[in-house]
Amino acid sequence: MSATQPGQHPTHRSLALYLGGDLPWLAKTKLRVHVRSCPRCQQYVGSLEEAQGELRREAEAQTLTGFEAIADWSRLEREMMGNIGVGVAAARCVDHVGHGRKLLTWTAAVVGLILLFIAGWVTHIPREQTQHIFTAFQQWSGRAPQISGTVLRSSPDGVAVRAQGSTLTLMHPRSAVISVSSTSGMEARYVDSETGQVTITSVYAQ
């Protein structure tokens, strides 16, 4: 709920709720700032305060004693009905205010969760896994062509042969020298740091 429209004065209902302390925190603050700088609204709030004071004084003066209440049933009934009417009207206003707040809370919670998920994904899931999932989704939805046959691929960490969705990767250190060893094979050559032996890992498509 917006208590004020930009460039406009608050509604009388908003000013009445403000005076009664029934506005949400943010709307109350905005209205307070506006009322302080607006003589017209100050005047209206002042008149409301006066009326409220008069009503309070009158109500105090007219409060029935137990004996009077028993004696004047019709007056008591009118007073009770009036109180109920005021209560229902106030409840409607407050109910409306609560809806807005609830919606805002839920939206903030959902946005927060999404942001937390994105941040967690970016910081915890390696890029290659994201690409794997993206490719899997693309293939599943039929947007990416299925790679047919056997594919050999080198990466800084290994040489791999991939076929039918399965991959065999022979790992190597980043210092390895990678080269093509045949039209259907590639190899990585390095000196094994533990054994001191030259080791050549190869993959083949057959």
Site residues for another protein per CB under 8 A = 117, 124-125, 128-129, 131-133, 135-137, 140, 147-156, 158-159, 161-172, 175, 177-187, 189-192, 194-206
Residue 191 pairs in a beta bridge with 198
Burial zone of 74 (CB within 10 Å; 0-12 exposed, 13-18 middle, 19+ buried): exposed
- Minimum Å gap between C-beta 109 and another protein is 18
Question: Which residue, 111 or 133, has its beta carbon nearer to another protein?
Answer: 133
Q: Between 104 and 147, name the residue whose CB sits nearer to another protein.
A: 147
Phi, psi dihedrals of residue 23, rounded to the nearest 5°:
-90, 155
Rank residues 48 and 170 by Cβ distance to another protein and give the closer one: 170
Nearest to another protein of 106, 137 (CB atom): 137
Q: How far is the CB of 144 from another protein (least distance, A)?
A: 13
Report how far residue 190's alpha carbon sits from residue 195's, in angstroms, rounded to the nearest whole number: 11
**Minimum distance from CB of 27 to another protein (Å)?**
38
Minimum distance from residue 203 beta carbon to another protein (Å): 5
CB of 112 to another protein, least distance (A): 16
Sign of the dihedral defined by the CA atoms of residues 163, 164, 169, 174, in that order = positive
| Residue number with CB closer to another protein (36 or 124) | 124
Q: What is residue 124's three-state secondary structure? A: helix
Report yes or no: 170 and 157 within 8 Å, Cβ to Cβ.
no
Q: Which two tokens stand for residue 129?
A: 């896994």
